[in-house]
Chain A
């Protein structure tokens, strides 16, 4: 029979318990508030499982005292990983050359301030003026970026990409995909793309998902029954330096082409590319779509209704009362969503504990209300979030203190990408088989 010995709670009180002999000390009860010091350091998945230990533990995520400890530990862990990893913040933005005329610029910020920037020259053809380019998956993987550029010639949208190592200035153009040079009866409308690393094959891959519009062309002689308007999923492998078409196999019958990917640039983490898409712009309902580069499988994770319950207390926009804006980011090695009611300046940050599991979205942080904020951009080196303000300035918000720190740069609303870059001397050409 266990000898349960009452123990006064709290580190700062004198303990008032009697212990009859040393042997029974291992059965001593650990009071909840010191138990929290242990529980708050567990992975969230284990915490959810241990909710079955006793009733008070099943309510941990509703306990503000505990959640505070959990948040502190989450941020502490994040800061530790960031210092261990090193690297600099990279900032990609469109700077105005003259009214309505922009040029893409790429900087490294050594201590998160624009005044301490190093400008890196983008390699051709990405250094032109007034072109639409972006960094696939807003990421640098092992020191390599994948730069992408879209050009429209008439009705045809053509895509060009290259792998770039800024430290060695090596650039390797990615050959065009033969399947995209399409017969005239269809116009490609591209949905999303991603870049990342397959550690199983030591290969760098690009993925593109394209749907098609029918183009009316009386001179077209391909019979209707032989035409295909099916969406196309293509993968490029650096090792084979070629594209390949994959069968689009979405579990549970989700129709990816019905998802509106407002931002075709997703995020990448640990071998998996992710994108956020809405199925209903009016109420922000949507899915996280994920593609594992290693086993080449898609899966989706919807958000539960409960995720947005707190948002109902924020001020709403008259035109779109239920609309919710969302930004997908990677925060402390977790997929996270930053959500806000359309036009409101309170931002709710939730992380996904288990991919594919709708119930595993956990609300962690709230930023604001901070009236000057407009739109979140990315997560920074120290776990702070970069926001754009309504006056166009970019700022850092510290998640634990909510203190605003100006970065010292302005720019266009949707044209920023930011992430962490760590130099490497990896030779891109050397990976080709």
Chain B
């Protein structure tokens, strides 16, 4: 529902509108950690609802939750583990891409590491699908490379 936030007496919260039309509030200090949001605030002013075309209502609350903890200095290893515990690989990917779009560096780096940890023992084919990339090797090239790097496949039970 589109709604202009009224000129708020407190300049401390910013209104963000997702690509699917929902509005979320975030503290200005948390918004500062997301450089894309900060740039939009600088351009449009902080009393206007900031439109985020490429972030959606499924992930924005999670991102806001992360930065709420960040501004109070409460991000711990335990919090981060809990944060991603119930997310599947695809959900983390969506969050990762949103963090990239928002230029939210700390979250981006944390999620990069989490994805790396998840992908470590995955199969080559799984990783291709995950990154949405095409296999541009010819069958001969690929089998030659696999042979050269056979040692890196040893002891790995490539799981899906």
A-B pairs with beta carbons under 8 Å apart, 25 shown: A4-B132, A12-B103, A15-B101, A19-B54, A22-B58, A28-B132, A30-B131, A30-B132, A30-B133, A39-B116, A41-B116, A43-B120, A45-B152, A46-B119, A46-B121, A49-B124, A49-B152, A50-B124, A52-B142, A53-B131, A53-B133, A54-B134, A54-B136, A357-B151, A360-B151
Q: Mask for A17-32, Cβ within 8 A of B = 1, else 0?
A: 1010010011111100
Contact of B112 among A37, A49, A360 (CB under 8 A): A37
Q: Mask for B114-156, Cβ within 8 A of A = 1, else 0?
A: 0110011100100110111111110000100110110111001
Cross-chain contact A35 with B131 (CB below 8 angstroms): yes
Number of A-B contacts (CB under 8 A): 99
Q: How distant is the Cα of A248 from the Cα of B40 in the complex, in angstroms?
A: 70
Which residues from A are CB-within-8-Å of B151?
48, 354, 357, 359-360
Which residues from A are CB-within-8-Å of B153?
49
Cross-chain contact B94 with A25 (CB below 8 angstroms): yes
A11 at the interface (CB under 8 A from B): yes
Contact of A52 among B93, B105, B145 (CB under 8 A): B145
Which residues from B are CB-within-8-Å of A58?
145
Cross-chain contact A53 with B149 (CB below 8 angstroms): no
B100 at the interface (CB under 8 A from A): yes
Which residues from A are CB-within-8-Å of B97?
25, 28, 30
- Shortest C-beta distance, A420 to chain B (Å), equals 22
B19 at the interface (CB under 8 A from A): yes
Which residues from A are CB-within-8-Å of B135?
53-54
Q: How distant is the Cα of A184 from the Cα of B121 in the complex, in angstroms?
A: 57
CB closest chain-B residue, reference A22: B56
- Shortest C-beta distance, A223 to chain B (Å), equals 49
Given contact pairs A25-B97, A48-B151, enumerate 13 new A-B contacts (beta carbons under 8 Å): A2-B132, A4-B132, A11-B100, A11-B103, A14-B36, A22-B20, A26-B90, A34-B100, A42-B116, A43-B120, A52-B137, A52-B146, A53-B124
Cross-chain contact B149 with A52 (CB below 8 angstroms): yes
A55 at the interface (CB under 8 A from B): yes
CB closest chain-B residue, reference A7: B97
Cross-chain contact A19 with B116 (CB below 8 angstroms): no
- Shortest C-beta distance, B95 to chain A (Å), equals 11
Which residues from A are CB-within-8-Å of B149?
48-49, 51-52, 359
Cross-chain contact A29 with B112 (CB below 8 angstroms): no
Which residues from B are CB-within-8-Å of A12?
35, 103
B74 at the interface (CB under 8 A from A): no
Looking at chain B's contact residues, is the secondary structure mostly helix, strand, loop, or mixed?
helix
Which residues from B are CB-within-8-Å of A50?
124, 127
Which residues from B are CB-within-8-Å of A1?
none
- Shortest C-beta distance, A19 to chain B (Å), equals 7
B108 at the interface (CB under 8 A from A): yes
- Lowest 4 CB-CB distances: which A-B pairs, in order? A29-B132, A41-B116, A48-B152, A49-B152
Q: How distant is the Cα of A12 from the Cα of B104 in the complex, in angstroms?
A: 11
B113 at the interface (CB under 8 A from A): yes
B80 at the interface (CB under 8 A from A): no
- Shortest C-beta distance, B109 to chain A (Å), equals 7
- Shortest C-beta distance, A11 to chain B (Å), equals 5
- Shortest C-beta distance, A3 to chain B (Å), equals 9
- Shortest C-beta distance, A160 to chain B (Å), equals 41
A222 at the interface (CB under 8 A from B): no
Q: How distant is the Cα of A51 from the Cα of B134 in the complex, in angstroms?
A: 13
A38 at the interface (CB under 8 A from B): yes
Contact of A26 among B56, B94, B100, B127 (CB under 8 A): B94
Which residues from B are CB-within-8-Å of A360?
151-152
Interface residues of A in 114-156 (CB under 8 A from B): none
Interface residues of B in 15-50 (CB under 8 A from A): 19-20, 35-36
Q: How distant is the Cα of A22 from the Cα of B18 in the complex, in angstroms?
A: 12
Q: How distant is the Cα of A2 from the Cα of B135 in the complex, in angstroms?
A: 14
- Shortest C-beta distance, A332 to chain B (Å), equals 16
Given A19-B19, A49-B124, A52-B124, check contact A29 B116 (CB 8 Å).
no
Cross-chain contact A54 with B137 (CB below 8 angstroms): yes
Q: How distant is the Cα of A37 from the Cα of B97 in the complex, in angstroms?
A: 12
Contact of B116 among A11, A17, A34, A38 (CB under 8 A): A38
Q: How distant is the Cα of A39 from the Cα of B20 in the complex, in angstroms?
A: 31
Contact of B133 among A14, A26, A29, A51 (CB under 8 A): A29
- Shortest C-beta distance, A126 to chain B (Å), equals 42
From A17, A22, A54, name the one whose CB has the most chain B CB atoms within 10 angstroms.
A54
Which residues from A are CB-within-8-Å of B120?
42-43, 46
Cross-chain contact A27 with B108 (CB below 8 angstroms): no
Q: Mask for A327-359, Cβ within 8 A of B = 1, else 0?
A: 000000000000000000000000000100101
Which residues from A are CB-within-8-Å of B96?
38
Q: How distant is the Cα of A14 from the Cα of B94 in the complex, in angstroms?
A: 17
Cross-chain contact B100 with A53 (CB below 8 angstroms): no
CB closest chain-B residue, reference A2: B132
Interface residues of A in 83-125 (CB under 8 A from B): none
Q: How distant is the Cα of A46 from the Cα of B117 in the complex, in angstroms?
A: 10
Q: How distant is the Cα of A30 from the Cα of B111 in the complex, in angstroms?
A: 14
CB closest chain-A residue, reference B120: A46
Interface residues of A in 190-209 (CB under 8 A from B): none
Given A30-B97, A48-B149, A54-B136, check contact A15 B54 (CB 8 Å).
yes
Which residues from A are CB-within-8-Å of B152?
45-46, 48-49, 354, 360
Q: How distant is the Cα of A28 from the Cα of B100 in the complex, in angstroms?
A: 13
Cross-chain contact A26 with B136 (CB below 8 angstroms): no
